[in-house]
Amino acid sequence: MGQHSRLSLVWRCDLGAAYLDTGDMARAVAVQTEILAGLDNVVGTGHTTTLLACATLADAFVSKGAYGHAIPLLHQVATVDRPPGEGMNWSHYRGLLALCYAKTGRPEAAISLIEECLHDEVRTHKHSATLQGIRLRCFLGEATLLAGNPARAAAILRTVLADALEVLGPSNPDTLVVTQSLAGAYHSIGDLEAAIRVLRWALVACERNLGTTHLDTARIRQLLAYEQVESGDAAPAIPVYEEILRDREQTHGPEHVETLTALFNLGYTHWRAGRSSRGVELLEQALQQHARIFGEDDPETLMVRNQLAGAYAQAGKVDRALALYREVLTQRELVIGVDQLPTLVTLHDFGRVLADLGQLDEAAKMVARSLVGREAELGEAHRLTLASRHLLASIVERQGELNRAASLFQTNLTAAERTLGHNHPTTVNFRRFLARARGKL
């Protein structure tokens, strides 16, 4: 029973990871369920073979962003008391469990677990500038970001990056992970210039040390393109996304989920670059494929429809934009939930278009809902929260509610001064809007 069962367990874990590689989440989850149900009948939950197999599949789930499915597997690994030197990095998997907690809405539990791990690391090595210490502190920065404190997260990750550069080097995979996390923290507080700056530096290091075609180089190039799009400088990102789409079509075929994501990204980038006709064309292609393969109510399909509505509005197809936004909002409220982040995106985007059309009362109601939800989910100073608060302030200012507008602009200014500094362009812009509103009182 022992050897045959252990081999069977390992084989099933490898099978689950293979399903994930092909995008077949349903079968991977079925394998996971089967594994967890039969652990005690194989070799016991604490046997090294069991734990290694669970760790392998957990790593695969995490790599695909399926953090919730990784948690029960990581519990098998991370909660077993083990002395060092038995073939597994127990501290790493405790840190990975903490990351999954953070990604599934439990950032406080994540922070507590990471701090325990860091305490053990410092007790063992007298400092935290070790490979494992760097990984744990990176997890801590990510958990802090998810807990709604992006400024604190950025401060943590800046110190982690400094240690990673000194200990590991600029093109080490763990250094690149820290770089991406720091860029994400900058993105969250609205400092897109800093995010672009750190990613450009990482791209130069990767191209020099790994080559222009290395996977890590390509990943950093794609992240840089994304930040450029979000900063309003989308045109340079178009060739990057065109190359990604060609690669995905050749590697996976036209109907693979990664190919469809690349098609959507290219359409979205054309729209954000002001090339609305091409953006609409590509987003309509992406919507047709998503709806056929995943279904009309799939969250990914709804995301494509939301952005297509924005592209319609930019292209002057206002009636189609409004009708599509209403459909997406209704479906997201039913399928995802009224207070979930994707629904809040639609409320904000729809409200912005309505405001542009002068339909201020309905616009204000939608954007106010988006603001309340984003404050609760992301925190007062997150970039998206600031965007909804600024939009609402601009709308109520147009409605003549000048005291309310000034209060909202002041809240944004205070948050920006705290997270970005007094002289950051975003802070200066908020200060200008506040002065304008006060000047009308």
Write out pLDDT tens, residues 311-364.
999 999 999 999 999 999 999 999 999 999 999 999 999 999 999 999 999 999
pLDDT tens-digit readout, 239-250:
999 999 999 999
Does 23 score more than 80 pLDDT? no
- Output the CA angle 198-200-203, nearest 5 degrees: 110
Q: Do the two domains 1-81 and 253-334 of this chain adopt the same fold?
A: yes
Find where tokens 């309505």 sit: 354
pLDDT confidence of residue 214:
87
CATH T-level fold of 1-81 = 1.25.40
CA–CA distance, 426 with 431 (Å, rounded to integer):
9
Going by C-alpha positions, the residue among 141, 132, 144, 206 that lies closest to residue 176 is: 206
- In CATH, what number does 253-334 get? 1.25.40.10
pLDDT tens-digit readout, 171-184:
898 999 999 999 99
pLDDT confidence of residue 1:
36
| Average pLDDT of the chain, as a whole number | 88
CA–CA distance, 21 with 239 (Å, rounded to integer):
26
CA–CA distance, 171 with 98 (Å, rounded to integer):
25
Stretch among 7-11, 101-105, 412-416 having the lowest mean pLDDT: 7-11
Burial class from Cβ neighbours inside 10 Å (0-12, 13-18, 19+) for residue 398 reads middle
CA–CA distance, 437 with 415 (Å, rounded to integer):
18
Considering only residues 191 and 33, tell me which one the structure prediction assigns the higher pLDDT.
191
pLDDT confidence of residue 7:
52
Burial class from Cβ neighbours inside 10 Å (0-12, 13-18, 19+) for residue 212 reads exposed
- CA 30 from centre of chain: 26
3 confidence band (pLDDT: 50, 70, 90): very low
Are 403 and 441 within 8 A, CB to CB?
yes
Domain ranges of the chain: 1-81, 103-233, 253-334
- 382 φ, ψ (degrees, to nearest 5): -65, 150
Q: Which DSSP helix (H) or strand (E) runs through 306?
A: helix 299-314
Are 32 and 57 within 8 A, CB to CB?
yes
CA–CA distance, 190 with 421 (Å, rounded to integer):
11
Residues 6+ apart with CB under 8 A from 383: 150, 187, 188, 189, 190
Residues 6+ apart with CB under 8 A from 255: 289, 293
Residues 6+ apart with CB under 8 A from 66: 20, 25, 28
Instruction: List the structure tokens of 364.
Output: 């204000």
Alpha helices in 379-401 (DSSP H): 383-398
- Percent of the chain scored above 90 by pLDDT? 60
pLDDT confidence of residue 423:
94
Domain 103-233, CATH among 3.30.70.890, 3.40.50.720, 3.30.365.10, 1.25.40.10:
1.25.40.10
State the average pLDDT over residues 85-110: 78
Axis crossing angle, helix 150-167 with helix 131-146, rounded to the nearest 10: 160
Are 54 and 38 within 8 A, CB to CB?
no
